[in-house]
Structure 1
Amino acid sequence: MRAFLIGFAALSLAACDSSNVPSPAERQAGAAPAIAPVDETLVSLRGDGLAAGAEAFYFAAGQNEVTTALSATLGAQTGGGPMLECGAGPMENASFPDGLTVNFKDGIFVGWFHNNGSDQIAVDGEFSIGAARSDVEALPGFALIEGSTLGEEFALGDRIGGLFEGDAVSTLYAGTQCFFR
């Protein structure tokens, strides 16, 4: 019986051989490259909100959180205030350098509007104000909005809109706006 237990123990140890498992040093050498740090000076506009530096906000985020992050990224708020006569009901906005305005309803982030070219602000990091019309028209989900009273208006999918002036993007927006059509 004793011989059986010794033999069983030897087989058990042999079964636990880890010679095929890489050492920590070998695993580190084959590790994926490190993730690049987020640029704290950039704003990425999205159809469902925005990101200011490393902080991302969906529509429905709190007004204080959004304005604080944008101030840290773009600089101090340059204007804003109540918009009492909007089709969506009374709202408030906050404007920042480089032509970005964010809209709030009852203290909740509901939309953004951008109308000034900036190296710091882009739609999902892909394009911004001044982008060539032909480049935007080639994007998936592009549709011209026929009969718009705002000008040459377009949509990118069902979340982002914009306006052309000539052959370039002049305005971008998403979410709730205070447009009079």
Structure 2
Amino acid sequence: MTMRQGWVMVMAMLGACSAAPPAANTQMAAADAGGKFPDNSASSATDVPAPGASDPAATPLVVALAGDGLQLVDGDSGKTYSVPFGTEQGQTIQSIGKAQGPISETGVNEECGAGPIYFADFSGTLTLVFQDRKFAGWSVGGSKADSKLTTIAGIGVGSTRKALEAAYSVKIEESTIGTEFLAGDLSGLLDGAGAGATVSHLWAGVTCIAR
């Protein structure tokens, strides 16, 4: 089975991206300011509660990585709120922003094999990908990745290969981009092939990488 494509490094991808066209910049700015994008899809809004304060650190919501999108977990009650792939772009950005804070950078990449993608960067090197104004993928990785960004099973950047294999049924192979793994709908890279290797990158959904 061929591994699905994904980003090796978020910063490498950003180097190949141009600034978003005016329409995209206007839409991203509206979401960053708490506005809403025009709803051109039938996607329903996720039922994510508003934080108790404007500072994301004051809310118990944390992001959990998932193969079918992202989840927000209430640290007090343990209740989870799904933000699946296909969710409307503005709603996705607003929902994730309740836990991660404001967007740090946005842009567009016209050269992906999957077609043009828009991206929005949040803290912890979490990057969201959108196509046709819908949430289509995410990636996290690199030396500045937030180790607290994990799956519900506790797997994130910095997790050991042993922990990864204990949490998921994993296929690992050497590819043109390194030691790549597939764990259900999650993909990623290990920083080596040995038993002591750790996860260096994770992604799911639509991604963009040259192989």
Give the TM-score taking structure 2 as reference length.
0.62
Per the alignment, residue 172 of structure 2 pairs with 144
Contact 1:113/1:173 (CA < 8 Å) preserved in 2? yes
Per the alignment, residue 152 of structure 2 pairs with 124
Over alpha carbons, which structure has the higher Rg?
1
1:155 aligns with 2:155: no
Q: Alpha-carbon deviation of 1:66?
A: 0.8
After superposing on structure 2, the runs of 4+ consecutive aligned residues of structure 1 that deviate more than 3 Å are none
Q: CA RMSD in A?
A: 1.7
Identity %: 33
Contact 1:55/1:69 (CA < 8 Å) preserved in 2? no
Per-residue displacement from partner, 1:123-177 (whole Å, max 9, x unpaired)?
Answer: 125221100122213333200134x1111110102x1001011311010000010
Which amino acid is 2:69 matched to?
G
Which amino acid is 2:93 matched to?
T
Per-residue displacement from partner, 1:44-100 (whole Å, max 9, x unpaired)?
Answer: 111001013453211100110111111111111011211110010001010000010
How many residue pairs get aligned? The number is 141
Distance 1:101 1:140 in 2: 23
Q: Secondary structure at the match of 1:42?
A: strand
1:110 aligns with 2:136: yes
Unaligned runs of 5+ in 2: 1-58, 74-79
Per-residue displacement from partner, 1:85-116 (whole Å, max 9, x unpaired)?
Answer: 00100010100000100100010111110114
Distance 2:179 2:101 in 1: 31
Contact 1:40/1:52 (CA < 8 Å) preserved in 2? no
Distance 1:52 1:127 in 2: 16
Unaligned runs of 5+ in 1: 1-38
1:73 aligns with 2:99: yes
Per the alignment, residue 47 of structure 1 pairs with 67
Per the alignment, residue 200 of structure 2 pairs with 170
Which amino acid is 2:177 matched to?
L
Equivalences for 1:17-28 in 2 at 5 Å? none
Label 1:139 to 1:125 Cα distance change in 2 as closer, same or farther (>3 A). closer
Q: Alpha-carbon deviation of 1:119?
A: 4.9
